[in-house]
């Protein structure tokens, strides 16, 4: 493994903190939606993928997504209302942004790998969170909507992350890290 450069760490940290600024209002909105309209809250799920997708797309280095998720979670601790659980949440979502690359041992960096992670978490999260949301007690139409919104949100969040990262790359942000 190559040495971890300061530039790599700083870019991941900057993306992580910027991601936390986006995730902070999303945390509070999703908390309100959890109580009032849990199905609608799934429209926000893809936001948790944004920082990791941006980092992975921009620096193309193993662990960039998880490191960025870690920084986002740490930055959220004092303000999110969830404390240290924010770290676990952000690292969990970041892992799925990274899984498409992990599967191929970080030897390939294709766009479809971002979407593979998005699709996987978009389907898996509703299953894993079903008990918390009491998903199986909802009518079938709402269960389908829950899954569809989560999947669509994860794909859109990934698309947005790719778009942001590509614009940053065109501006020259990651040139030093990719060498």
The reported pLDDT for the residue numbered 35 is: 86
Q: What is the mean pLDDT of residues 139-164?
A: 96
The two tokens of residue 123 are 């389907």
Secondary structure of the chain as H, E, C letters: CCCCCHHHHHHHHHHHHHHHHHHHHHHHHHHHHHHHCHHHHHHHHHHHHHHHHHHHHHHCCCCHHHHHHHHHHHHHHHHHCCCCHHHHHHHHHHHHHHHHHHHCCCCCCCHHHHHHHHHHHHHHHHHHCHHHHCHHHCCHHHHHHHHHHHHHHHHHHHHHHHHHHHHHHHCCCCHHHHC
The two tokens of residue 33 are 């939606």
Task: Report the mean per-residue pLDDT for the chain.
Answer: 92
Q: Predicted confidence band at 10 (pLDDT cuts at 50, 70, 90)?
A: very high
pLDDT greater than 90 at residue 95: yes
- On whether the CB atoms of residues 155 and 42 are closer than 8 A, the answer is no
The reported pLDDT for the residue numbered 21 is: 96
Q: Which CATH number fits domain 6-178: 3.30.1890, 1.10.1760, 3.40.50, 2.60.120?
A: 1.10.1760
Q: How much of the chain, in percent, has pLDDT values that exceed 90? A: 79
List pLDDT tens digits, range 108-118: 999 999 999 99
List pLDDT tens digits, range 117-148: 999 999 999 999 999 999 999 999 999 999 99
pLDDT greater than 90 at residue 80: no
């Amino acid at each position: 493994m190559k040495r971890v450069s300061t530039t790599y760490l700083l870019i991941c940290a900057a993306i992580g903190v910027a991601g936390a600024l986006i995730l902070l209002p999303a945390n509070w909105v999703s908390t309100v939606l959890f109580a009032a309209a849990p199905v609608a809250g799934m429209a926000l799920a893809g936001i948790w993928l944004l920082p990791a997708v941006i980092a992975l797309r921009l620096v193309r280095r193993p662990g960039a997504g998880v490191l960025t998720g870690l920084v986002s979670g740490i930055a959220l601790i004092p303000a999110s209302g969830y404390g240290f659980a924010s770290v676990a949440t952000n690292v969990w979502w970041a892992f799925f942004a990274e899984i498409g690359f992990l599967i191929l041992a970080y030897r390939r960096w294709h766009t479809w790998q971002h979407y593979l992670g998005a699709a996987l978490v978009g389907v898996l999260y509703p299953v894993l969170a079903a008990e918390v949301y009491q998903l199986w007690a909802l009518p079938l139409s709402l269960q389908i909507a829950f899954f569809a919104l989560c999947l669509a949100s994860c794909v859109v969040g990934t698309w947005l992350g790719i778009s942001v990262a590509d614009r940053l790359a065109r501006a020259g942000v990651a040139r030093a890290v990719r060498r």
